[in-house]
């Protein structure tokens, strides 16, 4: 199948669109929950769909370790294996090269990463990663990239960015040798460049020289402050082809998403909603709540009156706090479901605002949702 992306409406640089994949269309801008090990922690496929999820992310490195990409292929591919019939994107393991630096050795050919499971060495090259992602069978596959450890260290960033370009050329050659997108997998290249506008522009030129189904902005939200992160997105996103989907990797909070949408970004993933849910934090339009705080002990209200998630339609803040204080796993499940629903509602609000030509009017509302809520106490 040929992948297709169509821009439908615009408000400045922001746009709504539709991304067609073999497992369904994705209405953009869209947020992808993170299912690192072929599962979004505590939430099943039917619940994910009911919450508004269109597309999921899974991680090549972790699935290569356990259960193994070939086993996933043998059992029918990632969609069948995890019981999700919608689109899936697999990240290449490039983030693990960054996040597991103490366990990783990088050379020109690739990277050797020690397993977080048993310490065994796992060799990642552009070609081996393409093979792993073919075996997993996701709709969108990411090229192997090198994310620098310090986005403000220019020599390091420049070297990592150029290596990313060389690795991308090898990924593209391997992907095309195996049929390209005709096999049902779209390869996205990744833009690096750290905190440097000129390196971001240079990377956009190098990555988009390969005519690929889509492009991603990487090396963002890796320790830099919000201003530097925003500048990196502003430097790269408008330069990417307007007719292709743009994906910002690993970002972020509601305000991060909003600012990137304003720059013309279409796809996002992040662990923020699920991780915060497991840590008893709930996002609401009135601010972020810590459900362990005593202020909620006798509160009969739902987290949000107008939210249709399972936590809000059935349970009180008092009950949710009880679950948190008692250490019940249902607390993390319900708060994760609420946060995912909130992020999808947030993206829906942005899509509607773009269609009305009024995205700027959402900014204060989005900023309030990210802040600590009224009487939330320390978090």
CB 51 within 8 A of CB 25: no
292 alpha carbon, distance to own chain's centre: 27
Cα(99)–Cα(116) distance, integer angstroms: 12
User: Which sign, positive or negative, has the C-alpha torsion 124, 126, 128, 134?
Assistant: positive
The residue behind tokens 């994705």 is: 26
Measured between alpha carbons, how far is residue 61 from residues 20, 69, 115, 199, 293 in Å?
26, 9, 9, 27, 37
Q: Is 88 exposed, middle or buried (0-12, 13-18, 19+ CB in 10 A)?
A: buried
CB 18 within 8 A of CB 266: no
Helix (H, G, I), strand (E, B) or coil at 85: coil
Q: Is 315 exposed, middle or buried (0-12, 13-18, 19+ CB in 10 A)?
A: middle
What lies within 8 Å, CB to CB, of 147 at 6+ separation is 94, 95, 97, 98, 160, 192, 218, 219, 222
320 alpha carbon, distance to own chain's centre: 27
Cα(201)–Cα(195) distance, integer angstroms: 11
What is the number of other CB atoms lying within 10 angstroms of the CB of residue 351? 22
- Number of continuous H segments (helices) and E segments (strands) in the chain: 15, 16
Phi first, then psi, for residue 128 (nearest 5°) are -70, -35
Which residues are known catalytic residues? 91, 269
Q: What is the DSSP letter of 34?
A: B
CB 242 within 8 A of CB 357: no
For residue 79, what is the enclosing H or E element?
helix 78-82
Closest CA to 358 of 16, 29, 12, 7: 12
And the tokens for 82? 């995890």
And the tokens for 342? 């909130």
Altogether, the residues listed in the chain come to a count of 379
């Amino acid at each position: 199948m040929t992948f297709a992306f169509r821009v439908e409406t615009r408000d400045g640089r922001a746009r709504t669109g539709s991304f067609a994949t073999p497992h369904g269309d994705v209405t953009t801008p869209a947020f992808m929950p993170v299912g690192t090990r072929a599962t979004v922690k505590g939430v099943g496929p039917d619940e994910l769909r009911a919450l508004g999820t269109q597309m999921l992310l899974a991680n090549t490195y972790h699935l290569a370790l356990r259960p193994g990409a070939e086993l996933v292929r043998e059992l029918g591919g990632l969609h069948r294996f995890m019981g999700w019939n919608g689109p899936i994107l697999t990240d290449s393991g490039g983030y693990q090269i960054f996040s597991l630096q103490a366990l990783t050795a990088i050379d020109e050919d690739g990277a050797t990463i020690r397993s977080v499971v048993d310490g065994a060495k796992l060799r990642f090259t552009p070609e081996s990663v393409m093979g792993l992602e073919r075996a997993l069978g996701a709709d969108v596959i990411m090229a192997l990239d090198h994310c620098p450890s310090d986005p403000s260290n220019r020599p390091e960033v420049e070297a990592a960015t150029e290596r990313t370009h060389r690795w991308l050329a090898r990924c593209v050659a391997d992907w095309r040798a195996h049929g390209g997108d005709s096999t049902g997998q779209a390869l996205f290249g990744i833009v690096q460049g750290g905190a440097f506008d000129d390196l971001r522009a240079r990377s956009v030129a190098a990555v988009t020289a390969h005519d690929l189904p889509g492009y991603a902005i990487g090396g963002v939200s890796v320790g830099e402050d919000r201003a530097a992160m925003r500048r990196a997105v502003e430097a790269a996103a408008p330069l990417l082809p307007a007719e292709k989907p743009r994906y910002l990797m690993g970002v972020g909070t509601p305000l991060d998403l909003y600012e990137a949408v304003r720059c013309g970004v279409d796809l996002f993933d992040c662990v923020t909603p699920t991780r915060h849910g497991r840590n008893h934090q709930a996002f609401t339009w009135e601010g972020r709540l810590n459900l362990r705080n005593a202020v909620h002990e006798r509160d009969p209200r739902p987290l949000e009156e107008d939210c249709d998630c399972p936590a809000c339609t059935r349970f009180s803040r008092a009950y949710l706090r009880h679950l948190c204080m008692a250490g019940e796993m249902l607390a993390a499940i319900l708060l994760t479901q609420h946060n995912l629903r909130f992020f999808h509602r947030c993206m829906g609000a942005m899509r509607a605002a773009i269609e009305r030509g009024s995205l700027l009017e959402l900014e204060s509302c989005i900023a309030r949702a990210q802040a600590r809520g009224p009487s939330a106490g320390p978090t």
